[in-house]
Amino acid sequence: MELIKELPEVFEEFAKQRQEAFLGIKQLKDKGVPVVGVYCTYFPQEIAMAMGAAVVGLCSTSDETIPEAEKDLPKNLCPLIKSSYGFAKTDKCPFFYFSDVVVGETTCDGKKKMYEYMSEIKPVYLMELPNRQSEDGLRLWKNEIIRVKEYLEEKFEVKITDEQVREAVRVMNDVRRSIKGLYSVMANDPAPISGQDLFHVMYGSTFKFDKKAIPAEVDALTEKIKKEYQEGKNVGKKPRILVTGCPIGGATEKVIRSIEENGGVVVSYENCAGAKSFDKMVDEEAEDIYEAIARRYLDIGCSVMTPNPNRLELLGRLMEEFRVDGVVEVILQACHTYSVESMGIRKFVNGQGKPYISVETDYSMADLGQLNTRIAAFIEML
Amino acid sequence: MNYVGIDIGSTASKVVVRGEKTRWFVMPTGWNGRETAGMIQDRLKEDGIDVSGADTVTAATGYGRISVDFADYAITEITCHGRGGRVLAGDECTVIDVGGQDTKVIQVQNGAVADFLMNDKCSAGTGKFLEIMANRLGITLDELFQLAADGSVLPISSLCTVFAESEVISYIGAGKVREDIAAGVVESVAGKVAQLAQRQKLSDRVILTGGLSHSLYFSSRLSEKLGKNVEPTEYGRYAGALGASYLAEEKANRSNTGGAC
């Protein structure tokens, strides 16, 4: 596939993909395609894809619905949880509206309790995610994956075969490979594109429902970026930043903007918008495909795991591959697991001889001034 | 050449000029940073320093740095206080800056900022807290410290400035002496600043900058809480502006020699 459009136009399209998907989801729904709404990277998408369902990330990144959520939930709670619940309660999220079922996981305490209330609004299926990446944890998680498959089979009156699951694995692996290929271009110094553009493509791609079409499109984009880089196009020599921590998107893109407006460039995302979601493949050839899926997803280095060595492993690898000058951790207000883990991450990053800063933020724009001062000072330091 | 550092803080604006002329002055920021910047420009002009002239380089810092549209550089107060700290205490030091709306702990290593911490979204542990309490007691900040030195601490337990003010009002209502209330107020701020500072490994030399930096009483309370000598600095309130003026010089020299800045 050859990309005939100009890069800025392609980036803009990806940035708008989420809005475009509002219509897309309605069309799918009209055709009778089942829709599974999700919030978290831990959800094994392959299972829903195997029965031909559309999997969509539900609205959780705007402060628009937080006041409504705070009528029911504590104010001092993670904005992602409040926003998610608020969108469900006010029915302002088209993806939520068109979802036949929401699948959640027992990740952090706030989320799992919130799902209890959400289930009064919409059918919510809760998967039990283990706390540890142990062999017992793996068994539990594999059973949970089989259970969610059986739940979907019963709810939608379909049969999901192992071969369909394996085929979905192949499709998703190909998506992962293509996105990894895209973000690998950022290993170049100077970086070929801005971190914001990269983010928009990664985030936007998750709102494309025809997963099979993603790799060709992303590969073509990657080729075009490489070609233009060869021709001398880049963002200039800048301090290279890796972003880690809580999920970002929507309102919290303010952190990416702040980094890049203050002279840095985000060359790598370790969080759920980036490498956490795309780094590892599912073993397509595994004899037991469910175990392979369980292994891949359980391996995600989220701070809800204890201990959480995989986060450090990935972080260290990315810092090296992307020649990172400094690490910025985004912590959402009242996120205990990331906030406690922050000390360990600081030690790890400093141990690699690199500076680290954590910024705690929420979905409001009230802290923009403080955020800018901290991030500008951090970049001046590099 | 003249190198001008302008630090537009939330409460006070500080100006340092180095080079052919030497000037240090401070003025209240007032409600409009841009207007303050204009007043600074006029005052400098009266002294024969033309900020738009070719022989003057200006760096602005502080929360109002973007309001100084005639500045050649805008640099964060963290970098500037770090640079100012280096002038005041050398290449290896910790700067504790208690400002009008935020408090910063800055580590200077090998003459550069290596790490820093800032208080979050709360005025407790900042100059604003002291200002509000001094107003409530009907005294100036300097009087507050003088009274506090003669008082014995009345505990103020609230973490919130507004609630802490209610505590002070209750003490006033209960007829407690001003010295003891003042001691309680200073103790509360010192405690919160120390809490922030303790999250970092402090250097052998620790200096206090910002509007409270000349207070011997405040630095001694901080020293006790941190178990480390925190040096008061006579001109610590100028540390940000001083740092800005040095950075203006360094940046200008670097761009003159063709290097990146």
> How many C-beta atoms lie closer than 10 Å to residue A279's C-beta?
20
How far apart are the C-alpha atoms of B167 and B157, rounded to whole Å? 8
Count how many Cα atoms sit within 13 Å of the Cα of residue B203 in the half-sphere of its side chain. Answer: 27
* C-beta separation of B95 from B106 below 8 A: yes
Instruction: At A233, list the tokens.
Output: 């196009």
Residue A200 lies in a domain: no
The answer to whether the Cβ–Cβ distance between A373 and B113 falls below 8 Å is no
Instruction: At A335, list the tokens.
Output: 């996120």
Residue A229 lies in a domain: no
Instruction: Please state the domain count of chain A.
Output: 1
Residue B258 has pLDDT above 70, yes or no: no
pLDDT for the residue numbered A317:
98
DSSP B55-99: TEEEEEESTTGGG-TT-SEE--HHHHHHHHHHHHH-SSEEEEEE-
Q: How far is A306 from chain B (nearest CA, A)?
A: 24
State the DSSP code for B116: E
How far apart are the C-alpha atoms of B240 and B4, rounded to whole Å? 12
How far apart are the C-alpha atoms of B253 and B250, rounded to whole Å? 5
How is chain B split among helix, strand and coil, in percent rounded to 5? 45, 20, 35
The answer to whether the Cβ–Cβ distance between A381 and B102 falls below 8 Å is no
Closest A-chain CA to B74:
A376
How far apart are the C-alpha atoms of B210 and B232, rounded to whole Å? 10
The answer to whether the Cβ–Cβ distance between A381 and B112 falls below 8 Å is yes
How far apart are the C-alpha atoms of B177 and A104, rounded to whole Å? 58
The answer to whether the Cβ–Cβ distance between A380 and B75 falls below 8 Å is yes
Residue A94 lies in a domain: yes
What are the backbone angles phi and psi of residue A70, rounded to the nearest 5°? -70, -10
pLDDT band for position B257 (cuts 50, 70, 90):
low
Domains along chain B with CATH numbers: 2-78+239-256 (3.30.420.40)
Edge-to-edge strand order for the sheet containing A240-245? A265-269, A240-245, A326-332, A356-361
Residue A183 lies in a domain: no
How far apart are the C-alpha atoms of A376 and B124, rounded to whole Å? 24
What is the three-state SS of B12-61? Answer: EEEEEEEECCCEEEEEECCCCHHHHHHHHHHHHHHCCCCCCCCCEEEEEE
pLDDT for the residue numbered A332:
98
- Longest pairwise C-alpha distance within chain B: 67
Cα torsion angle, A304, A309, A314, A320, sign: positive
Cα torsion angle, B17, B21, B22, B23, sign: negative
List, in order, residues 6 or more apart from A329 with CB less than 8 Å away.
Answer: A243, A244, A245, A338, A342, A345, A356, A357, A358, A359
pLDDT in tens, B135-144: 999 999 999 9
The answer to whether the Cβ–Cβ distance between B78 and A355 falls below 8 Å is no
* ipTM for this prediction: 0.89
Instruction: Name the residue range of residue A131's domain.
Output: 13-156
For residue B83, the chain A residues in CB contact (below 8 A) are none
The answer to whether the Cβ–Cβ distance between B121 and A373 falls below 8 Å is no
State the DSSP code for A271: S
Q: Which long-range contacts (CB under 8 A, 24 or more apart) does A195-198 make?
A: A195/A241, A195/A243, A195/A256, A195/A259, A195/A260, A195/A265, A195/A266, A195/A267, A195/A269, A196/A253, A196/A256, A196/A257, A196/A260, A196/A266, A197/A7, A197/A11, A198/A266, A198/A269
State the DSSP code for A305: S
Residue A310 lies in a domain: no
Q: How far is A34 from chain B (nearest CA, A)?
A: 45
Residue A270 lies in a domain: no
- Longest pairwise C-alpha distance within chain A: 59
Q: Which of A355, A366, A373 sits opposite B115 (nearest CB)?
A: A355
Q: Which of B79, B114, B115 sits opposite A380 (nearest CB)?
A: B79
The answer to whether the Cβ–Cβ distance between B79 and A373 falls below 8 Å is no
Instruction: At B8, list the tokens.
Output: 């537009």
pLDDT band for position B261 (cuts 50, 70, 90):
very low
Amino acid letter, B187 = E
Residues B178-194, mean pLDDT to the nearest whole number: 96
> How many C-beta atoms lie closer than 10 Å to residue A150's C-beta?
11
Residue A254 lies in a domain: no
pLDDT for the residue numbered B157:
87
Instruction: At B254, list the tokens.
Output: 């670097």
Cα torsion angle, A363, A369, A370, A376, sign: positive
Q: What is the CA radius of gyration of chain A?
A: 20
The answer to whether the Cβ–Cβ distance between B63 and A373 falls below 8 Å is yes
How far apart are the C-alpha atoms of B174 and B162, rounded to whole Å? 19
How far apart are the C-alpha atoms of B45 and B194, rounded to whole Å? 41
Residue located via tokens 């539900």: A58
pLDDT band for position B259 (cuts 50, 70, 90):
very low
Residue located via tokens 């999920």: A247
> Looking at residue A31, which CATH number applies to its domain?
3.40.50.11890
Residue A109 lies in a domain: yes
Query: Buried b / exposed e across A257-268, counting CB within 10 Å, b at 16+?
Result: bbbbebebbbbb
Beta-strand ranges (E) seen in chain A are 35-38, 54-57, 101-105, 124-127, 240-245, 265-269, 326-332, 356-361
Edge-to-edge strand order for the sheet containing B103-109? B112-118, B103-109, B93-98, B206-210, B230-231
The answer to whether the Cβ–Cβ distance between A376 and B63 falls below 8 Å is no
Beta bridge partner(s), residue B192:
none
How far apart are the C-alpha atoms of A326 and A354, rounded to whole Å? 6
Q: What is the CA radius of gyration of chain B?
A: 19
For residue A373, the chain B residues in CB contact (below 8 A) are 63, 76-78, 118
Scanning A205-264 for CB atoms below 8 A from B yields: 237
Per-residue confidence of chain A (382 residues) as pLDDT tens digits?
Answer: 667 789 999 999 999 999 999 999 999 999 999 999 999 999 999 999 999 999 999 999 999 999 999 999 999 999 999 999 999 999 999 999 999 999 999 999 999 999 999 999 999 999 999 999 999 999 999 999 999 999 999 999 999 999 999 999 999 999 999 999 999 999 999 999 999 999 999 999 999 999 999 999 999 999 999 999 999 999 999 999 999 999 999 999 999 999 999 999 999 999 999 999 999 999 999 999 999 999 999 999 999 999 999 999 999 999 999 999 999 999 999 999 999 999 999 999 999 999 999 999 999 999 998 999 999 999 999 9
pLDDT for the residue numbered B158:
86
**Residue B107 parent element (H or E):** strand B103-109
- Of A51, A111, A52, A109, nearest to A85 (Cα)? A111
Residue B260 has pLDDT above 50, yes or no: no
- Of B148, B136, B228, B143, nearest to B189 (Cα)? B148
Q: Which of B63, B76, B120 sits opposite A360 (nearest CB)?
A: B120
Residue A108 three-state SS: coil
